[in-house]
Amino acid sequence: MCCKFAVLDALLLFVVATVASSIGSLQAGVVNTAVLTHTVKWGRHAGRRMAVGGSIPEFIYAAVAFAGAGWLVEQLGIGATGITIIVSCILLVLGVYFVFVYRPRPAAPGEDKLTGDLRRGVLLGMANPQLLLFWCGVKLMLVPVGITGDSWPQLLAFALGAFTGAIILLMILVRLGVKAQEKLSPKGLRTLFRSIGGALLVAGCYGMLRALAWVP
């Protein structure tokens, strides 16, 4: 009977983490925009490899948060407000870049990528400190509803759910990138990425205002 409940708890944690990861990844962010732009430039297979790499940090951060969410939240010196300000600044810089600088184009013949697709995705994901705080929050929100297990199978289920939710959304973005590459003119691609830049600017401004307690 105990084994049965343990399996059910692990499945529940997997589902909760998958849903949370999918919803959390919907916001405009560094990895999302990188996967989309990488796909437009280098194609479907390169975009998929970056999507896998960008999902791996979700697994790592979710596992770390599950193992010690309370301690981590207490030890993070800059706290939620500091992390929000950092992420908002990154989003603002990216927004300005996509609105005013970026010109989407296919790779030139013989042009090489600076790093491997998968490795670049991992590095971008690991450089996002908001992920750790996000998964700490998800883990802590499970406590009031009675999901307090901390076994290795439960940790693995939680982390795999985080990975699964992220990669589902990123693979959708790869598909969108391929469609955009096939069907949009250079002007259309430019308009698309200006729109993405505008969304990043809005997200960055809102995050900054919220961190400064100027908006609820």
In a domain, 111, yes or no: no
Give Cα separations from 87 to 21, 23, 38, 49, 78 (angstroms): 18, 18, 21, 24, 12
What's the structural domain count of the chain?
1
Measured CA to CA, the distance from residue 53 to residue 173 in angstroms comes to 14
Q: What is the pLDDT of residue 56?
A: 93
Q: Which domain holds residue 40?
A: 2-88+116-183
Q: Specify the range with the lowest mean pLDDT, choosing from 22-26, 57-61, 131-135, 198-202.
A: 22-26
Give 115-157 pLDDT, tens digit per residue.
578 888 898 888 876 777 778 777 877 765 666 666 788 889 9
Distance CA 192, CA 94 (A): 14
The answer to whether the predicted template modeling score (pTM) of the entire model surpasses 0.85 is no
Give the whole-angstrom CA distance, residue 15 versus residue 11. 6
Q: Is residue 197 part of a domain?
A: no
Residue 126: HSE in the Cβ half-sphere, 13 Å Cα cutoff: 11
Inside any domain, residue 212: no
Q: How far apart are CA 58 and CA 165, in angstroms?
A: 9
Of 130, 179, 106, 174, residue with least CA distance to 29: 130
Kindly report the average pLDDT of the chain as a whole number: 77
Evaluate whether residue 100 is within a structural domain.
no
Q: In this structure, is residue 18 part of a structural domain?
A: yes
Find, among 45, 54, 36, 53, the residue nearest to 181 by Cα. 36
- CA–CA distance, 65 with 93 (Å, rounded to integer): 28
Residues 6+ apart with CB under 8 A from 150: 66, 67
- Out of 10-19, 43-52, 112-121, 204-213, which region has the weakest mean confidence (pLDDT)? 112-121
Taking only the tens place, the pLDDT of each residue in 62-102 is 998 888 765 665 555 555 566 667 667 767 877 787 788 77
